[in-house]
Amino acid sequence: MNALPSNLPGHPNPRKFIYQSLADAIRPPERLPFTQWLPRNIVLVDGPSAGEPWSAEGAPYLVEIAECLSDDHPCNLVTVRKSEQSAASILALSWCLYIADREPANTLYGVPGIDNLQKLNGQKLQPLIDAWQKRIGRTVIVPQTSRSGRGSTAYEKRFSGGFLSLANANAVMDLSMVTARKGVKDELSKWQEIPGFGNPERLFFGRFTAHRRTKDWKILEISTPEVDSGDELAEAEGHCRIDRSFRKSDQRFWNCICPECATTFVHAEDRLKIDHAHPHRTVYPCPACGHDISEAERVIALSLAAGAHWKPTCDVPDHPGFHIDAFISKMMSYEAIAEDVIAAKTEIEKKAIANLVFAKPYKFRGDAPDHVRLLAHVEKHLKRGHVPPKGLILTAFADVQMRGIWLEVMATAPNRETWCVDALYIDGDTADHNGPVFQQLKRETIDRDFPDAFGRLRRLDALGIDSGYRAHIVYAWVRNNQRAHADTGRDLILATKGLKGWGRPALGQPALVDIDLGGKKIAQGAKVWGIGTWPLKVTVYGDLRQEVPPPPNVPLPPDGYCHFGDWCDENYFKQLTAEVLEDIKFRGRVTSQRWTKTRDNHFHDCRVGNVALTDYLGLSSTTPEQWVALAQARGLPPELTEVTLFTPRPLALTHASAAAPGEIKKKKAHERETAPQSSPDAGWLKGYDVKF
């Protein structure tokens, strides 16, 4: 064989070319820590800095978290309890790309719910991958291919030496048949118990069993918090998952430097000095010297150059935990925090502030509203059995007992404003699903026409029946009377059962019940829907506490306000407020909470069930355009659904349910003639059917 010539005229040295290529192939990659890799590789894909390279100046508190995620750091678990818009999720996704590029390993990324999984891939991960590979000029993640099993897919990103698997944390199959060494538990607080399989965190960690002996696994868990169970040790069932893990960590808080006295301090929400009249003047008094720190001074004090740093508060080795709230986020400000706090009036809104702004779990207020105050707010102009103008959703819920059925019919507006259309008790024996009691239930619900404020007749959009007492009787009645809704095609009647505990959805997925009264299997059995009653009870009580603003404010009911007619008597309101949330103590310490019945609570259960049905019908997911289409389909005049910049606020619409259709139109015409034609204020959409 002829030797390879060392040089050819007009060509580079072939030996040098071959040797250099071989050297490049076997040379170990440059050691590049995650903190240095980030600014060289990551391009932000959303937010005010979209299209720009990642920079520690935008989120200085993320640097130390990134250091903990390196293979060189001895910890196995990193916990981040965060507020919204903190950039922690982008850090988690960037870590997955760093793993693919520098520390190849099988990686499992858990997200609660298939919808969130789709959003994560389509709106964050895939755009981040595309921007990253475009910047570095090479392909690390194998492209998606339609027929090759070796390519990436929407939920599995393959790379040399491993893969990134995206999993629905609430589905047992997504947490099975995977062996991983690194993982991310995103939005951990919203992970739910999997029926028949238990704790999803246990299933997730089971994927790391192969690496437990060598202890070379690493998991990052990030989430905004949810519910505080009241347990001082955060060990009670239903306690916020991310808060539980954070309390077991070394609990690091971001320490800022006062520009006046140079002492370190950690922001606390109760020290913020809010100017309610002028939120932009909100300041934070220094705990040491009392100096009012302005927003401009806050931004400087947050930087690493000014001396800001993480400081652990507990001696827990090898489990770093980080608390990120809106105070240390450069995407927020004292003014923005003040505006959010001022706007939070209801229990649900206050929970959102605690979770999303202050990054802390929220302990619900469990005392019941005053039934006497509710009775005093009865609106005598409302007509029993009539649907009010804004009641676009009409539901009913029945509570079956031994000697009768309690029933409430409720109308709901897109802003969660509700009206009790009817409330009654059907007396009689409920042992026979074909008996007189259930026949009367049918006449009062699915066979009943409800007049509306515009001269039309309405039918129920959904009927829920609690199966907690006579389960098989209820299943049989639902199975025999089931029908599809004329507009949606979905089941009109839902057999339900209440589920205890926090963190449950308003209405879960149905389970098929295929046993009849004789214990035999039925091919097309009834479905039973689980209702997460605990959070809904808080929602109901929060709405019942709503008040119409007194003069000189505009007397427009707030979102979620509850209207009642004079057929709702004292017994109705006593039942409606018949449960309280009490602390459970063991040996002097609060260990958990539970809802306790103080008297008959049938109408309380009916109201909770009705609120769950509105979620089933899409109350929280329907767009303004869809509300307009629904309003027009149900007979609302165009002037009540068409909104322009010069449309006045229709105050008369609030009490229009007592007026005839002709009177409503006259009032609307009079408002257009007499109202000043000026630009509306910031709440100009309030009261309209396009967005209440």
**What is the β-pairing status of strands 562-563 and 418-427?**
parallel
Contacts of 151 (CB under 8 A, 6+ apart): 142, 143, 144, 145, 158
- Give 516-575 pLDDT, tens digit per residue: 555 565 666 688 999 989 889 988 998 998 888 887 777 889 889 999 999 999 999 999
Per the structure, the count of domains in the chain is 2
CB neighbourhood size of 600 (10 A): 14
Instruction: Provide the token pair at 207.
Output: 């994927």
For residues 54-69, give the mean pLDDT: 95
Distance from the first to the final alpha carbon of the chain: 86
For residues 99-120, give the mean pLDDT: 92
Check which CATH number belongs to the domain holding 211 and give it: 3.40.50.300
**pLDDT at position 48:** 84
Query: Which structural domain, as residue segments, surrounds residue 424?
Result: 371-626
For residues 586-607, give the mean pLDDT: 83
DSSP 496-508: EEEE-SSS--SB-
Smallest Cα–Cα separation from 44: which of 157, 135, 145, 141? 135
Asked if pLDDT for residue 106 goes beyond 80, the answer is yes
Residue 663 lies in a domain: no
CA distance 66 to 215: 19
**pLDDT at position 344:** 85
At which of 597, 626, 655 does a domain end? 626
Tokens 């489990």 sit at which residue? 319
Check which CATH number belongs to the domain holding 604 and give it: 3.30.420
- Give 128-137 pLDDT, tens digit per residue: 999 999 999 9
Residue 386 lies in a domain: yes
At which of 195, 224, 253 does a domain end? 224
CB neighbourhood size of 676 (10 A): 6
Residue 690 lies in a domain: no
Instruction: Pick the most confident of 22-36, 364-378, 417-431.
Output: 417-431
For residues 25-54, give the mean pLDDT: 88
Where is pLDDT greater, at 526 or 332? 332
CA distance 443 to 474: 16
| Mean of pLDDT over the chain | 85
CA distance 253 to 534: 32
Peptide bond into 661 cis (omega under 30): no
Question: At 172, which amino acid appears?
Answer: V
Asked if pLDDT for residue 149 goes beyond 90, the answer is no
- What Rg value do the Cα atoms of the chain yield, rounded? 30
Angle at 378 between CA 377 and CA 382, to 5 degrees: 135
Asked if pLDDT for residue 124 goes beyond 60, the answer is yes
Residue 345 lies in a domain: no
At which of 224, 259, 291 does a domain end? 224
Asked if pLDDT for residue 244 goes beyond 80, the answer is yes
Asked if pLDDT for residue 477 goes beyond 70, the answer is yes
In three-state form (DSSP H/G/I as H, E/B as E, the rest C), the secondary structure along 115-171 is HHHHHHHHHHHHHHHHHHHHHHCCCCECCECCCCCCCECCCEEEECCEEEEEEECCC
Q: Are 42 and 51 in contact (CB under 8 A)?
A: no
3-state secondary structure of 426: strand
- Give 657-681 pLDDT, tens digit per residue: 333 333 333 333 343 333 333 322 3
CA distance 400 to 477: 12
Instruction: Provide the token pair at 201.
Output: 């965190």
Say what the pTM is: 0.69
Residue 241 lies in a domain: no
Residue 455 lies in a domain: yes
CA distance 412 to 557: 13
CA distance 141 to 164: 9
Residue 230 lies in a domain: no
Confidence of residue 368 (pLDDT cuts 50, 70, 90): confident
Residue 610 lies in a domain: yes
- Give 268-302 pLDDT, tens digit per residue: 999 999 999 999 999 999 999 999 999 999 999 99
